[in-house]
Amino acid sequence: MEIILLKDIDKLGYRHDVVKVKPGYGRNYLIPQGLAVNANAANRKKLEAILAEEEAAEAARLDEYKAIAAQLEGQTLKIGVKAGTSGKIFGSVTNVQIANALKEQLNLDIERKKIVLAEDVKELGTYSAEVHLHKDVKTKVDFELVQE
């Protein structure tokens, strides 16, 4: 079954992509949740019109995302956490704390959903996270966990 995605879905595709999924997944989850529509001829025509409109605005946003990515290059965020004597922190650091640190330290407002951690962060040290600003613009941000 082919569907048109209305929102970005992890491990499936980006908004306005035409993807092939199993019929039950499309009929029972994606379409009722408002995440996708059936890829019939009428919906494909609407998609072409929407893509044509958004293409002009996308060029301006792409430059903006590239500027943000350039600003993030080489930056190391410092995140204060509570930790035990062995260096193991209480809890873990998630993309929410990284988004808050970006807002406080670099004055960048990036959605937490766009920040992807490659590993669980449960000890003091230096780590990196990937920031998906746009499907063509991805960058890494380094962060260091320091004891409060």
- A 10 A CB-CB count for 126 gives 9
Are 95 and 77 in contact by the 8 Å Cβ rule? The answer is no
Q: Which fold has domain 69-147?
A: Ribosomal Protein L9; domain 2 (3.10.430)
**What is the per-residue pLDDT across 18-76, written as a single tens digit (0 to 9) for each?**
999 999 999 999 999 999 999 999 999 999 998 888 877 777 788 888 888 888 888 89
- Greatest Cα pair distance, the chain, in angstroms, is 63
Q: What is the pTM of this model?
A: 0.66
The CATH homologous superfamily of the domain defined by 2-61: Ribosomal protein L9, N-terminal domain (3.40.5.10)
DSSP 8-state class, residue 69 = H
For residue 102, pLDDT over 80 is answered with yes
Domain limits of the chain? 2-61, 69-147
